[in-house]
Amino acid sequence: MTKTMTRTFLSGLAVATALSTAAFAAPVEAATLRMAWSQDATGLDPHTQTAFSSLRLLELIYEPLVRLDAELNVVPAIASSWEFSEDAQTLTFTLDPAATFSNGEQVTAADVKASFERILNEATAAAARSNFLSIESIDTPDEATVVFNLSTPDVPILVAMAGINAAIAPASEIEAGSVGTTALGSGPFVLDTWEPNSREVLTANPDWAGGELGIDGINISVLPDETAILASLRAGQTDFALINDPLVATMVPNEAGLELNRAPGLAYNVLQLNPNREPMDNVLVRQAMSCAIDRQSIIDTALAGEGAVTGPLTMPAFAQDPSSLFCYEQDLDRARELMAESGVDGFTATVIAATGEPPYAALEAQVLQAQLAEIGITLNIEMMELNVYVDTWLQGDFDMAVAQNGGRPDPYPMYNRYFTNDGNLLNVSNYVDDTLDSLMREGQAETDPERRVEIFQEFENHLVEQSPWLWLSTSFSYTAQRENVSGFVPSPTGTLFGLTEVTVE
């Protein structure tokens, strides 16, 4: 009896395997890119979304006035040209006459005006609103010209306008209140289907002003487990994927037929200290901590070597050689001296970190724990679910926090929230410093690019020396692709706009 049973079971298994194998052999559409990511977009409103995946999706559907290329230069998008007035208080855009929304209507100055008014309207809760507060009024002398009148000289506003949070939506959709549901943009792709946390179907926009695309569309699947994404790439079920976990990313090059794209990101990993609490209010203690940590070894241990030591300025045009920054080489003797000088004889503090965000947060906290123990600091690690962490972080209710904070292509919008005296997130940084404040304001008004770099490097040097936070590393953003995909150009902003150049064999 047992024998028959085994045989029946085995043949059943064989049939089932055959069945499931048959089901895997999905028909391959030549020019549709099959893409996978582990976290899905959380919404379709370009003005309010901040989640990484949402931005990546919306960048394919909507367009801002200008865009940043892979070197972070401002290049045309909806606007074909732009000009600042001498005093940097008027910014004039000329729109590309070919720019059309996917419903066939031309993008006009009225759409631009309506979009920015929507962003500035408090009731919208727009994510980028704080970057545009200097806009006093918007003039539309003709259909193709938009003039922004600014209350103060504001140079970084141009870079802020390159973000998808400043996307141009049709005035008619804004009036109808349907921006978050229709996803009607002027971008390279049109969203056909969105099943949240499951999949998206995008088709190429034939009317896109940017030219013809190399693919007919993109089918995005949400595969929450990144090792499953790797398996799917390996089996040829996925052509292109976004990878967050450096550990998974390092496995990609070992696979035949797969390629890994790496781009150093603007986001930074940081140990935020709370200078409002003892003994972190003592600058010597903070400096001692900065000297005690070995940033490269944190990268090697926690990030599997996938990252680069960084100071506060992560954007290539502004960044300085990290080794020139205060105590960026581990120096335990100096750290102990500074501790002794501070009069603090070791202490215990709690560091918060979010589970899985970034994926190596816990590891990072553990390495920091071990390194700081060397100078008599005992760290207790408190891991929190992301939402709980965000809540605690926003209240500034922590001794220290392991964080990964988003970067911007310009230092001003990146740090004005934390380190100007009226910054929105001053209660997160808990740090007021008049030197930082005045340098920030100077950098905001300066129109000469070289002078701006000098100002912000001075800002960086002062910030690192005061050590309210300990900047650690930038990590890479990764995409993986099969050999049949070519032409993708990664960008430090993480955008997938490079998919417009992609072809699939």
What does the binding site for another protein look like in residue numbers (CB under 8 A)?
1-2, 5, 9, 16-17, 19-24, 26, 36, 42-43, 48-51, 122-127, 129-130, 180-181, 195-199, 221-225, 227-228, 231-232, 234-237, 385-388, 390-394, 403, 405-406, 417, 424-425, 427-428
Instruction: List, in order, residues 6 or more apart from 408 with CB less than 8 Å away.
Output: 159, 160, 266, 315, 414
Nearer to another protein, 250 or 330 (CB): 250
Nearer to another protein, 34 or 67 (CB): 34
Q: How far is the CB of 24 from another protein (least distance, A)?
A: 5
DSSP output for 20-60: HHHHH-PPPPTTEEEEEESS------TTT--SHHHHHHHHH
Say how far apart CA 285 and CA 288 lie, in whole Å: 5
Nearer to another protein, 93 or 431 (CB): 431
Q: How far is the CB of 300 from another protein (least distance, A)?
A: 26
Q: How far is the CB of 481 from another protein (least distance, A)?
A: 17
Contact (Cβ atoms closer than 8 angstroms) between residue 61 and residue 167: no
Nearer to another protein, 122 or 450 (CB): 122
Contact (Cβ atoms closer than 8 angstroms) between residue 181 and residue 44: yes
Say how far apart CA 30 and CA 63 lie, in whole Å: 27
Instruction: Classify residue 214 by its DSSP letter.
Output: S
Q: How far is the CB of 348 from another protein (least distance, A)?
A: 24
Nearer to another protein, 36 or 88 (CB): 36
Q: How far is the CB of 213 from another protein (least distance, A)?
A: 23
Partnered with residue 61 across adjacent β-strands are: none
Contact (Cβ atoms closer than 8 angstroms) between residue 315 and residue 309: no
Nearer to another protein, 107 or 174 (CB): 174
Q: How far is the CB of 120 from another protein (least distance, A)?
A: 11
Q: How far is the CB of 408 from another protein (least distance, A)?
A: 12
**Burial track 229-259 (b if 16+ CB lie within 10 A, e otherwise):** bbebbbeebbbbbbbbbbebbbbbeeeeebb
Q: Which of 271, 293, 267 is nearest to 400 (CA)?
A: 271
Nearer to another protein, 155 or 401 (CB): 401
